[in-house]
Amino acid sequence: MGDGLQGHVVLVTGSSRGIGAEVAAKAGAEGARVAVHYREAADKAAATVERIRSAGGEAEAFAADLRDGAEAEDLVRRVISRFGKLDGLVNNAGMTQVGPFLEIDPDEWAAVIATDLTAVYHTCRAALPSMVERGTGSIVNIASRLGQTGVPQTAAYSAAKAGVIGLTRSLAREFGTKGVRINAVAPGFVITEMTADLAASEEGKRRLADMPIGRFGQAHEVAEAVLFLLSDRASLFLGQTLNPNGGGYMP
């Protein structure tokens, strides 16, 4: 077990599965006390908590529907109340969208924006006062290659993730002088429970052809980038977007 986050309290949204679960597990392995967030999958969140505890770490699960701004902000307040502080926030929770733009239902558009972008506003809004007061903290927002390049038939998701990158840069400039580092990670296509069907589809094959590495990413690989940004090893990183994308986008 490493100690890069020893004594830190880290909240990872959407950490019952996929990238979030890997981030939570690695944070626990580096000595953090981890708040595992979930919306509905209590059993999977419990599995993430047990994974951390069985490795000698400390973790607890917290439920919240981040599409509701009040619940998103209350989640952060509950974590701070339970652990006494918040050193790291990873905004990972999200939902995808695939389909022609003209066929996107307004409710679907609103749900994607609420989950992937507006929830980040609310959790940051709740976390930043405490971090500023203590003069320290790290926020890592999970964006996407799609938010950097734009991809057909992902308009809502691409728009939300582009917004996450813009929000990250703005907040980094505003709060960097106050001791808070805010950065983003923009993965390429990563194999998770949420993307498995898409990976096996014709669209998945097309996306694979765009990746020079010749394979899709794995959640644990993306988690390494997140853990770096959470830690003091990334002391000079503010407003940056790391791109673990297998060469799918080269800014």
- Burial class (CB within 10 angstroms; exposed 0-12, middle 13-18, buried 19+) of 5: buried
**Which letter does DSSP use for residue 5 in this model?**
T
Q: Rounded to whole angstroms, how far apart are CA atoms 142 and 201?
A: 24
Q: Rounded to whole angstroms, how far apart are CA atoms 154 and 177?
A: 36
Q: Rounded to whole angstroms, how far apart are CA atoms 155 and 94?
A: 15
Catalytic residue, from 38, 121, 157, 249: name it: 157
Q: Rounded to whole angstroms, how far apart are CA atoms 156 and 163?
A: 11
Tell me if 218 sits within 8 A of 191, measured CB to CB. Answer: yes
- Burial class (CB within 10 angstroms; exposed 0-12, middle 13-18, buried 19+) of 78: middle
Catalytic residue status for 157: yes
Tell me if 146 sits within 8 A of 116, measured CB to CB. Answer: no
Which residues are known catalytic residues? 157
